[in-house]
Chain A
Amino acid sequence: EAGVTQFPSHSVIEKGQTVTLRCDPISGHDNLYWYRRVMGKEIKFLLHFVKESKQDESGMPNNRFLAERTGGTYSTLKVQPAELEDSGVYFCASSPLPGQGSEQYFGPGTRLTVT
């Protein structure tokens, strides 16, 4: 069974540009999560999809970030326009079950560098 995949693995963009990150969850996992780790800080929750619906987007930092999950399969996270403070590693995770304590399976992350 394929794990969670993320594309690209690395992205270097200039301030003001747009970047789109993609996450493919494990097949059949209805729950999809985005997290971000800014250098030297904790991994922080961004948002949670259940199928194609946003269940919780309380961690999204501002309206420059837009997440979608059309059709309830893969998800994209767009940053437009990117700022220097957006640099970090963006992790995606998926889970088959919604309940507290269900294991989340993480992808390898996308390292975003904004210069």
Chain B
Amino acid sequence: AQSVTQPDIHITVSEGASLELRCNYSYGATPYLFWYVQSPGQGLQLLLKYFSGDTLVQGIKGFEAEFKRSQSSFNLRKPSVHWSDAAEYFCAVGMEYGNKLVFGAGTILRVKS
């Protein structure tokens, strides 16, 4: 069955430090992968997505993610975290039929000054 694993429930980083959020997926076909972010009181906002081609994907707000098929991973990175990045981050895979999304459990990012 399709699944997405985000092994870190909470992560705390210092402002200005680098960030990597982990995501592993299980999907039998070509994965369509997404990272969404949810700030308090807001809906989920798409940060970036991967379909094919270059395995390093650039997104909004300075985020990037790297697709590694051999590791079934799609980790999210940012070189320098800002306090406004504090939010919950979700990794998801899009199903072939109908495009429903299967989400990971989410990672809550805290940024300390």
Q: Do A and B bind each other?
A: yes
Q: How far is B15's CA from A108's CA once the two chains are assembled, in angstroms?
A: 27
CB of B105 closer than 8 Å to a CB of A: yes
Contact A42 B99 (CB under 8 A): no
A-B contact count (CB 8 A): 66
> A50's closest neighbor in chain B, by CB?
B98
Instruction: Assess the A31–B99 pair: CB atoms within 8 A.
Output: yes
User: What interface size band does chain B fall in?
Assistant: 20 to 34
Point out the residues of chain A lying under 8 angstroms from B32, CB to CB. 100-101
Q: Are A43 and B103 in contact (CB under 8 A)?
A: yes
Pair A102/B43 contact, Cβ less than 8 Å = no
A-contact 0/1 string along B71-108, CB 8 Å cutoff = 00000000000000000001000111111111111100
Taking a contact as CB atoms under 8 Å apart, the answer to whether A98 and B99 are in contact is yes
* Interface residue? A25 (CB, 8 A): no
Contact (A91, B43) CB under 8 Å given A42-B104, A43-B103, A106-B36: yes
A42 touches B106 (CB 8 A): yes
How distant is the Cα of A100 from the Cα of B104 in the complex, in angstroms? 18
